[in-house]
């Protein structure tokens, strides 16, 4: 695995600083709700990097505002995207779990690409489309589809919307969720004609289904940045080993976020 200085330093600090202290200092003190309220009062038209996001959107919880404004939302995931995908020559990018389109907006703001985003939440898909449109200074080709990656064989699945933009779950069983079109990842890739692509994935454990049940969908995938988590069937370690078994090498990791590159 190839480590970089910034990730190695963060991993070292992560080991030295107890998690409760780090959480308090970072999440509560510097990037907490008080800072979020001040930012909302100022109502900035752009964040510190120059991207446009509506910090007063109903889809943005108060606790998320500071991270969005300081461009540190989904920091570990975006750092690996920036180093491994944006610095590569790959122009076809697929993202699973777009949320409000933070990473997508950074991508089209920085580099001309052909981007396909998949988001199970209807309201977040709408927000993501608006954000990508507002930040597409590279004149990229892009589309965002409201689809849920699912391997149950059902045509539609129930999706439980969250009160913020960082969570949402398939199959709540309450009957109060919304029905979302279901599709296998491989079917989407074939329908959209994506070849030689980089994959970004944060879909609450469904990455395991792609790795173990849909290997063919990754045949033309060259880079993966994914946030992996344990599932009922497969641990995170199982998923890392599976990625290596089907032709990828682990290049970098931070916490539960991993960057893989297809072996030559």
Q: For the whole model, what pTM was predicted?
A: 0.86
Task: Give the structural domain span for 218.
Answer: 74-262
| 186 in a structural domain | yes
Within 10 angstroms of residue 199's Cβ, the number of other Cβ atoms is: 24
Domain harbouring 93, CATH code: 3.40.50.150
| 1 in a structural domain | no
Burial readout 152-175 (b: 16 or more C-beta within 10 A, e: otherwise): eeeeebbbbbeeebbebebeeeee
* Tens of pLDDT, residue by residue, the chain (264 residues): 555 545 565 556 566 666 566 555 555 556 688 899 999 999 999 999 999 999 999 999 998 999 999 999 999 999 999 999 999 999 999 999 999 999 999 999 999 999 999 999 999 999 999 999 999 999 999 999 999 999 999 999 998 886 666 555 555 455 557 899 999 999 999 999 999 999 999 998 899 999 999 999 999 999 999 999 999 999 999 999 999 999 999 999 999 999 999 998
Contacts of 253 (CB under 8 A, 6+ apart): 1, 7, 259
* Torsional sign, CA 213, 240, 17, 6: negative
Is residue 169 within 8 Å of 160, Cβ to Cβ? yes
Query: Which pLDDT score, from 0 to 100, does residue 110 have?
Result: 96
The whole-angstrom separation of Cα 9 and Cα 145 is: 37
| 199 in a structural domain | yes
State the helix-helix crossing angle for 122-135 and 102-110, rounded to 10 degrees. Answer: 20
The whole-angstrom separation of Cα 104 and Cα 53 is: 12
| 194 in a structural domain | yes
Within 10 angstroms of residue 139's Cβ, the number of other Cβ atoms is: 7
| 225 in a structural domain | yes
| 67 in a structural domain | no
Number of domains the chain contains: 1
| 224 in a structural domain | yes
| 258 in a structural domain | yes
Query: Which pLDDT score, from 0 to 100, does residue 223 have?
Result: 98
């Amino acid at each position: 695995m190839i480590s970089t200085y910034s990730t190695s330093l963060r991993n070292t600090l992560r080991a030295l600083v107890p998690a409760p202290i780090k959480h308090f200092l970072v999440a509560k003190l510097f990037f907490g709700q008080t800072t979020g309220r001040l930012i909302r009062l100022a109502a900035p038209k752009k964040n510190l990097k120059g991207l446009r996001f509506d910090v007063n959107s109903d889809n943005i919880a108060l606790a998320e505002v500071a991270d969005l404004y300081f461009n540190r939302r989904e920091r570990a995931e975006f750092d690996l995207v920036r180093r491994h995908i944006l610095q590569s020559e790959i122009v076809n990018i697929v993202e699973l779990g777009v949320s409000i389109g933070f990473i997508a907006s950074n991508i089209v703001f920085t580099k001309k690409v052909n981007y396909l985003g998949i988001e199970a939440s209807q309201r977040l898909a709408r927000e993501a489309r608006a954000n990508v449109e507002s930040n597409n200074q590279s004149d990229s080709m892009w589309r965002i589809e409201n689809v849920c990656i699912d391997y149950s064989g059902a045509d539609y699945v129930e999706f439980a919307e969250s009160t913020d933009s960082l969570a949402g779950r398939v199959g709540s069983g309450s009957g109060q969720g919304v029905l979302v079109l279901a599709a296998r990842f491989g079917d989407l890739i074939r329908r959209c004609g994506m070849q030689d692509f980089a994959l970004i994935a944060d879909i609450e454990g469904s990455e395991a289904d792609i790795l173990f049940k849909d290997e063919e969908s990754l045949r033309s995938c060259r880079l993966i940045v994914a946030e992996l988590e344990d599932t009922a069937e497969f641990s995170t370690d199982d998923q890392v080993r599976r990625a290596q078994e089907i032709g990828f090498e682990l290049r970098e990791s931070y916490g539960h976020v991993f960057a893989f590159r297809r072996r030559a």
